[in-house]
């Protein structure tokens, strides 16, 4: 059976990009695949995290996954640091991956910015840990947003090099699953940059904890251009803000961009924004209500993570044992 692995960082509030680009797709894939979903706290500490904040975020992200419809009984939901195999395999991959490969990673360049000398070694080696996350379970499919594509190509390279170096057929070549109308949700303040947790402007993103007023305000203030909305997709060329808002509408309403253009073509942004705000609130509110309910019961959330980690360790154990033997480590 095909196996899915995907992860999300507990580094502050989840936003609409995380939900539409990843989590919502995960919910839909649960019927057809065996799924492993991981709150990647080890990835989170590649940049500074306040320890109390990290604990709170780990619970909050877990609550968001459950509230969105991830089934933790049928599938596996856990936080990465509870399963030692992630760190063990990441070290082996640090020795398989080449410096030249990591030097090409655009996300490191973006995150490290101008001050590369001061970035953590963990931030640089981050993609190797991500490859370890996936291959620790020999997962075959990885549903992510567009921004993770390069990391998955690296995962494929690492799997192939390991198999070649050790003349074995240990790891599968993973397939990225990047689909839906919102594989790259853009900032509400700038249609050419990605919606992200690290954008200094709170108005740039809708988060999973925003209330109805905040959602409406952020959409009302979203950057636009002076033209009415186009009647077809072609009319969105060179209009990144219109394309982004209409793409979000298409994703939330489960229609195509073309249909949104047909329905709203010729309208002013003000009318469209009102519709978009109503739609966003109606789709997010039930998830947010359930998130609040779960967050009020941290012991329950911790129990879900503990149970998930036990399942994950059981799945990982025979694989990490096999990898260690292949590399030539002596048996304990």
Residues that bind ligand TYM (CB under 6 A): 5-9, 17-18, 21-22, 40, 43, 130, 133-134, 142, 144-145, 147-148, 182-185, 194-195
CB of 185 to ligand TYM, least distance (A): 4
Short-list 46, 37, 63, CA closest to 11: 46
With respect to ligand TYM, which residue has the nearer C-beta, 37 or 264? 37
With respect to ligand TYM, which residue has the nearer C-beta, 60 or 133? 133
Enter the tokens of residue 64. Answer: 């968001």
Q: Which positions are annotated as active-site residues?
A: 111, 194, 197
Name the closest residue to ligand TYM (Cβ).
Answer: 21
With respect to ligand TYM, which residue has the nearer C-beta, 207 or 224? 207
CB of 167 to ligand TYM, least distance (A): 26
CB of 144 to ligand TYM, least distance (A): 3
In angstroms, the CA 78 to CA 117 distance is 33
Q: What's the alpha-carbon Rg for the chain, to the nearest Å? A: 21
CB of 277 to ligand TYM, least distance (A): 19
With respect to ligand TYM, which residue has the nearer C-beta, 128 or 288? 128
Interhelix angle 257-264/240-253, nearest 10 degrees: 110
With respect to ligand TYM, which residue has the nearer C-beta, 8 or 323? 8
CB of 152 to ligand TYM, least distance (A): 7
């Amino acid at each position: 059976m095909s196996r899915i692995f995907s992860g999300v960082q507990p580094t502050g509030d989840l936003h609409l990009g995380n939900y539409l680009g990843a989590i919502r797709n995960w919910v839909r894939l649960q019927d057809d695949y065996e799924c492993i979903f991981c709150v990647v706290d080890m990835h989170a500490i590649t940049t500074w995290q306040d320890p109390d904040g990290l604990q709170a975020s780990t619970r909050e992200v877990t609550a968001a996954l459950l509230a969105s419809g991830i089934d933790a009984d049928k599938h596996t939901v856990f936080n990465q640091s509870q399963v030692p195999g992630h760190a063990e395999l990441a070290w082996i991959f640090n020795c398989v991956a080449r410096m030249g490969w990591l030097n090409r990673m655009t996300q490191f360049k973006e995150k490290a910015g101008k001050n590369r000398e001061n970035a953590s070694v963990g931030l640089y080696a981050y993609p190797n840990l991500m490859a370890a996350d996936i291959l620790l379970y020999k997962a075959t499919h990885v549903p992510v947003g567009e921004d993770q594509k390069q990391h998955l190509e690296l995962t494929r390279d690492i799997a192939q090099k390991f198999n070649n170096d050790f003349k074995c057929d240990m790891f599968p070549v993973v397939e990225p699953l990047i689909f839906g109308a919102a594989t790259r949700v853009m900032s509400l303040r700038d249609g050419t940059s990605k919606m992200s947790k690290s954008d200094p402007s709170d108005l740039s993103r809708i988060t999973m904890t925003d209330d109805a007023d905040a959602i409406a305000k952020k959409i009302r203030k979203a950057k636009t251009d002076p033209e009415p909305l186009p009647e077809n997709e072609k009319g969105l060329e060179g209009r990144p803000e219109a394309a982004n808002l209409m793409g979000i509408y298409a994703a939330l309403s489960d229609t195509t961009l073309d249909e949104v253009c047909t329905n709203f073509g010729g309208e002013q942004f003000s009318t469209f924004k009102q519709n978009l705000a109503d739609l966003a609130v109606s789709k997010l509110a039930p998830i947010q209500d359930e998130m609040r309910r779960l967050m009020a019961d941290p012991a329950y959330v911790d129990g879900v993570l503990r149970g998930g980690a036990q399942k994950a360790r059981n799945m990982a154990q025979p694989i990490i044992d096999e990898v260690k033997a292949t590399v030539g480590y002596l048996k304990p």
